[in-house]
Amino acid sequence: MQEEVKQSIKKLLKERNAVLLAHNYMRDEVQEIADITGDSLALSQEAAKVDADVIVFCGVHFMAESASILSPDKTVLLPRIDAGCPMADMITVEELESFKAKYPGAPVVTYVNSSAEVKAASDICCTSANAIKVVASFKEQEIIFTPDRNLGRYVGKFSDKIIHCWDGYCPTHERLKEEEVLNMKKEHPQALFICHPECTPAIVELADYVCSTSGMYDFCRSNPAKTFIIGTEAGILYKLEKENPDKTFILASQALFCPNMKLTSFEDILQALETMQPVIKVPEDIRLQAKQALDRMIAIPRD
């Protein structure tokens, strides 16, 4: 049955001249059939240059919005319209405007995990892969950083600027507790602990390496260590294990599970391709402003 659905998806992707993009946290089988997998930065870059009529975005709402902002002539499908990001919902454009009024002249750096409206009201976007460079690109001494307080604080460790962070966070990464990491480290003393900067500062302090999801693939591939404790969403394990059959990857906590990232199934993808719905389309006035913030980010090379 699963194999039949898979073949139907592949056939329809060809017929529609569609490309399937999937985030590194998607279900294993979705990552397996994707044309391109990646972190938020790689997927935005791909969405901007991909040669297809249709983008099927297997991720969450803000990612499909970014694809629509960068590729307005393409039809962007988000197979599960209910796949949102709680962190992106933690700031509205009205709240951002009030926050900006408190720090006049401070440029606004907005994590891509945000709505198109919030991006449109920002100077530049960033992802976890380039946030340090993006903040460093400003000459101003004060920066507004939204919506992730954890990523903002992490960037602050590498900058002498004053960073005013919005109080948003990722509920999935915040569930990882210090005791869990300490226990894991005790159980596996030879292992390296790597985590995503969406984790709390206390967790970041315990890490041997902090990076985006794709940064974890690069690090684990090239590092001679044999065992890694992983502090990010469970979906990352699929490719880590596939690429490194001789290494062991241990999820730091069973709570590292993002329900939104796990919604999209083969059936949802097939239905989206059959019905060409749900379409994500950002209104043109917002799109043009949000695109400036995304383009400025894309122009800054990856770390």
Q: Binding residues for ligand 13P, per CB under 6 A?
A: 24, 39-41, 85, 113, 127-129, 170, 196, 198, 212-213
Residue 168 CB, nearest distance to ligand 13P (Å)? 12
Q: Which residue shows structure tokens 């903002």? A: 152
Among 66, 68, 110, 113, binds ligand SF4 (CB under 6 A): 113
| Binding of ligand SF4 by 44 (CB under 6 A) | no
Instruction: Give me the least distance between CB of 85 and ligand 13P, in Å please.
Output: 6
Looking at the Cβ atoms of 74 and 196, the one nearer to ligand 13P is: 196
CB 171 to ligand 13P: min, Å = 11
Smaller CB distance to ligand SF4: residue 86 or 278? 86
Out of 260, 286, 291, 293, the only residue in the binding site for ligand SF4 (CB under 6 A) is: 260
**How far apart, in whole angstroms, are the C-alpha atoms of residue 288 and residue 46?**
19
CB-CB contact of 84 with 139 (8 Å): no
Task: Decide if 240 contacts 37 (C-beta within 8 A).
Answer: no
260 binds, among ligand SF4, ligand 13P, none (CB under 5 to 8 A by kind): ligand SF4
Identify the DSSP state of 168. Answer: B
- Contacting range for ligand SF4; rule: CB under 6 A; set: 4-12, 72-80, 120-128, 253-261: 253-261
Q: Provide the edge-to-edge strand list for the sheet that holds 162-165.
A: 124-126, 108-111, 142-146, 162-165
- Minimum separation from the CB atom of position 173 to ligand SF4 (A): 6
**Residue 86 is a binding residue for ligand SF4 (CB under 6 A):** yes
Cβ-based neighbour number of residue 267 at 10 Å: 13
Closer to ligand SF4 by Cβ: residue 87 or 181? 87
Instruction: Out of 46, 233, 269, 287, name the contact with ligand SF4 by CB under 6 A.
Output: 233
- Longest distance between any two alpha carbons in the chain, whole Å: 58
Our finding on whether 261 is near ligand SF4 (CB under 6 A) is yes
DSSP per-residue codes, 196-257 = -TTS-HHHHHH-SEE--HHHHHHHHHH---SEEEEES-GGGHHHHHHH-TTSEEEES-TT--
Residues 6+ apart with CB under 8 A from 220: 194, 228, 240, 243, 244, 247, 249
Q: Which residues bind ligand SF4 (CB under 6 A)?
A: 60, 85-87, 113, 170-172, 198, 233, 258, 260-261
